[in-house]
Amino acid sequence: MKINYLNLEKKINLKFKNRNLLIKSLTHKSFNPEENNEKIEFLGDRVLGLVIAKKLLEIYPNESEGILDKKFASLVNKKTCLEIAKKINLANYIKTFNPNNKKIKIEDKIISDSCEALIGAIYLDKGFNFVEKTILTLWKNHIDKSVITEIDAKTKLQETTLKKFKKLPLYKLISNTGPRHKPIFKVGVKLPNTKYFIATGKSKKEAEQNAAIECLKNFNKS
């Protein structure tokens, strides 16, 4: 089946000067062991990282390195690359070898890797400014959502408390109730000169995260 790369170019709003770069970036090693996208993927991964790191520093100039690192990781991981790839139907343009010549589902890893390779190809063909614009357009929704996630609450609270009080938050297990297969943990956390902020969770770790969220909400109001 002939692949219409022009449709992909329209989706990402660019026209390659060297179409072979585009084709190579979407060629898996199973299709061509010699001319494939492995090295371009290596490059694309670094280009993506540079663009996202640069953007995060622009958006969050006062954020700590630890929080920036978590935001960065969530924006460049394979899961996010896969979501971006699916948004532009990238799997329709990837060449893989199928010995039975049947239509098969391409593995998620191949799709996310090809997304990075596509970025590498755009960089080689158009330069940094163009690839930066393309990445920021494709990643816009994800960047807009790059707020502190609940799982980062303990880290954020610890950094905030150390900065203001030079002490760590104090966590306390208040109770562990419910049946053995479905326990409910209640945990409190307090800062110097504050009450305990209490929350529950299915595990002690989850309860601590939820308590940290409650504490941060109050801390941000003050």
Q: Which of 116, 125, 132, 152 is catalytic?
A: 116
Q: Which of 78, 82, 80 is nearest to 94 (CA)?
A: 82
Let me know if 113 is a catalytic residue: no
Do the beta carbons of residue 96 and residue 106 sit within 8 Å?
yes
**Degrees (nearest 5) of the Cα angle 146, 214, 162?**
80
Q: Which of 41, 45, 152, 208 is catalytic?
A: 45
The H helix count followed by the E strand count for the chain is 10, 3
Give the torsion through C-alpha atoms of 13, 68, 207, 142, to 10 deg.
Answer: -10
Let me know if 34 is a catalytic residue: no
Residue 92 tokens, joined = 């329709």
**Rounded to an integer, what distance in angstroms lies between the CA atom of residue 151 and that of residue 82?**
22
Do the beta carbons of residue 130 and residue 121 sit within 8 Å?
no
Q: Which of 106, 86, 89, 91 is nearest to 30 (CA)?
A: 106
Strand partners, 197: 189
Active site residues per annotation: 45, 116
